[in-house]
Structure 1
Amino acid sequence: MSGMPTPRGKLTPKRPLSELTWLRVGGPADYLFQPADLEDLQSFLRELPTDREVFPMGVGSNLIVRDGGLRAAVIRLGRGFNGIEIDGGQVTAGAAALDAHVARKAADAGLDLTFLRTIPGSIGGAVRMNAGCYGSYTADYFVEAQAVTRAGELVTLTADDLKFQYRQSELPQGAVLVSATFAPPAGDPEQLHARMIDQLAKRDASQPTKDRSAGSTFRNPAGFSSTGLADDVHDLKAWKVIQDAGMKGAILGGAQMSPKHANFLINTGEATAADLEGLGEEVRKKVYDSSGITLQWEIMRIGEK
């Protein structure tokens, strides 16, 4: 691996990314790096040639990797980055900790991060995307995050640094989030756990949770308010405008807009990334033609076609 650092963690050249994403599509990354610990990540980024792109990847729950793959060193945090600590009224979670685990552990301690329970991803992704549901957003409880810069330095990022907006934040180019701290409101553990059970039942009733999807495909069109953060009470929902445009259940190759929930793009078995992205673009066109609304992708699309 000429010009590449020799880390203690696992560095794999030409690693197919399809099995690391929920949609199970995508070509190879030039390299996949799974750091052993924080120091390993720092020295890897310090020694990585500056012309090499870096792409931090979570659990791949909100991602289409295109069929040509990614000309980058993909960094995927695992063990060593998934701890969850409760200190007083604050919760600090490693970037690789699953949202659902953080919600449950916080609830055990009488802290309300229940909105995270049904979000299918990890904390790094939740911060990066300002993930939210039930009218709550990551930004609402965010205190600070730790990240390693492209130059290998450990820095603390505030909400001001991240400039949270609806379903997005700004992270310095090539930086990798390693942990985040939240200050949630207090609640009764039993009630918090009961609420999460209820949320899961509602989600399973309305969403195709058994299918290969990446969660909501498009942002709700009215998802902007004067603060730049949305609230989820808007009448204008992506699923409604997709359904009105006649695209619920639409098929392209192995890709389909779920017959159960029109805003879920699913891989029915043999979809390529091109099928999935192509169907999404067809939906955007049909929605624009029928309602004049331009849907914005919520799923991240990366790599080469």
Structure 2
Amino acid sequence: MTAIQDIPLRGRATPDRPLADLTWLRVGGPADWLIQPADADDLAMFLSALPPDVPVFPMGVGSNLIVRDGGIAGVVIRLGRGFNAISVDGDRVTAGAAALDAHVAIKAAEAGRDLTFLRTIPGSIGGALRMNAGCYGAYVADHFVSARVIHRDGRAETLGQGDIGFAYRQTDLPPDSIVTEVTFRAEAADPDTLAAKMADQIAKRDASQPTKDRSAGSTFRNPVGHSSTGRVDDTHDLKAWKVIDDAGMRGATRGGAQMSMMHSNFLINAGGATADDLESLGEEVRKRVFETQGIALEWEIMRVGRNRRD
């Protein structure tokens, strides 16, 4: 059986690589292997040569992620410079999976194309597709044209709208398939108008969310109605922060973890938190909300890995 270190990767393969510095919450243990392929061909070659029993976890910029304190078994794939190009051709905007959502919104706006809903979404395009990310009433599903993915066996495929299975804050993409590129359809608009719109979005976000703290964005999904395309039913006004407040959990702490006083649906590392502190506090919030209101909050933050190093 081929050993990971013997696969002729043109990129970088690092054993026992700590992951805490690669996540926005700054917690978590090491990956058995961190793989940073040079380009899509390098990634496909690596996956095709990787023994099939080795688990694979695609990791973006760690913006919506808790890596548990025991780290991640198998291989973590993290895409870099070979996957961050952004291009605009008519109403089509194509972005590499490693391109930041905010950068895609800005680049599109400069070309007179409206993807402004991406401007305040933390993370990169690969994760935005996988989670059907949305903001201000628009979702990835609304603009999606196609995506290039590489499956666990190294096979590359182009997926269209009917292949993804969009739902509210999720898709049915296989968890070990890796998105390498996404193409969006974007309406024409005046660049200055789009720039002003994004500046207003940033101002509103900074006024209402703890953007200067270590967080992973919204912790729980809003418990609202939604359609099969992922669009939230705006006739429902139940929000996660409100049910957390009603459960008395705004500002709640556990170790170095805290539910933000500024926005109670933001779980923050207030200093020295472990992954266990953060996840346990989140579970305590879910328990209290269910006990007091009968509502089962669903995590929006992904939690992965082992609870402790075996």
- Return the TM-score normalized by structure 1: 0.97
Cα distance, 1:159 vs structure 2: 2.1
Q: CA deviation at 1:8?
A: 1.0
Give, in angstroms, the shift of residue 144 of structure 1: 0.5
The amino acid across from 2:3 in the alignment is G
Distance 2:64 2:164 in 1: 19
Q: Partner residue of 1:132?
A: 134
Q: Give 1:220 shift.
A: 0.2
Return the match for 1:201 from 203, 208, 217.
203
| Partner residue in 2 for 1:96 | 98
Distance 1:6 1:67 in 2: 30
2:201 is paired with a residue whose SS is helix
> Partner of 1:83 in structure 2?
85
Contact 1:166 1:224 in 2 (8 A): yes
Which residue in 2 is equivalent to 1:62?
64
Distance 1:92 1:246 in 2: 44
Question: Structure 2: which 5+ runs fail to align?
Answer: none
Report if the CA contact (8 A) 2:2-2:49 is conserved: no
User: Contact 1:166–1:223 at 8 Å: present in 2 too?
Assistant: no
Find the counterpart in structure 2 of residue 259 from structure 1: 261
Deviations for 1:249-303, whole angstroms, at most 9, x for unmatched residues? 0000000000000000000110000000000000001101111100000000001
The two structures have a TM-score, normalised by structure 2, of 0.96
1:31 aligns with 2:33: yes
SS at match of 1:221: coil
Aligned to 2:3: 3
SS at match of 1:80: helix
Please tell me the residue identity of whatever aligns with 1:3.
Answer: A
Structure 2: distance between partners of 1:279 and 1:189: 43
Q: Distance in 2 between matches of 1:153 and 1:103?
A: 30
Residue matched to 1:270: 272
Q: Work out whether residues 150 and 173 of structure 1, in 8 Å CA contact, stay in contact via their aligned partners in 2.
A: no
Aligned to 1:247: 249
Residue number in structure 1 paired with 2:17: 15
| Cα distance in 2, alignment partners of residues 185 and 231 from structure 1 | 23
Secondary structure of the corresponding residue to residue 193 of structure 2: helix
Q: Deviations over 1:212-266 (max 9, x none)?
A: 0000000000142365532456310000000111000000000000000000000
8 A Cα contact 1:129 1:169, kept in partner: yes
User: Are the counterparts in 1 of residues 56 and 176 from structure 2 also a CA contact under 8 Å?
Assistant: yes
For 1:125, give the aligned amino acid.
G
Q: Which amino acid aligns with 2:161?
A: A
C-alpha distance in 2 between matches for 1:34 and 1:185: 34
Amino acid at match of 1:302: V
The question of whether the paired residues in 1 share the 8 Å contact of 2:79 and 2:98 is answered with yes
Inter-partner Cα distance in structure 2 for 1:291 and 1:69: 34
1:78-125 CA deviation, whole Å, 9 max, x = no partner? 001000011111000000000000000000111110010001110000
Matches of 1:232 and 1:76, distance apart in 2:
36
Q: What residue in structure 2 maps to residue 174 of structure 1?
A: 176
Instruction: Give me the CA root mean square deviation.
Output: 1.3
Aligned partner of residue 148 in structure 2, secondary structure: strand
Counterpart Cα distance in 2 of 1:269 and 1:127: 31
Deviation at 1:174, TM superposition (A): 1.9
Kindly indicate whether the alpha-carbon contact (under 8 Å) linking 1:133 and 1:232 is maintained by their aligned counterparts in 2. Answer: no
> Is the counterpart of residue 105 in structure 1 residue 102 in structure 2?
no
Aligned length: 305
Q: Provide closer, same or farther for how the CA distance between residues 294 and 173 of structure 1 changes in structure 2, counting only shifts above 3 A.
A: closer
Any stretches of 5+ residues in structure 1 without a counterpart? Answer: none
Alignment of 1:237 with 2:271, yes or no, is no
Aligned counterparts of 1:304 and 1:232: Cα–Cα separation in 2: 38
Question: Which amino acid counterpart does residue 127 of structure 2 have in structure 1?
Answer: G
- Paired residue type of 2:13: L
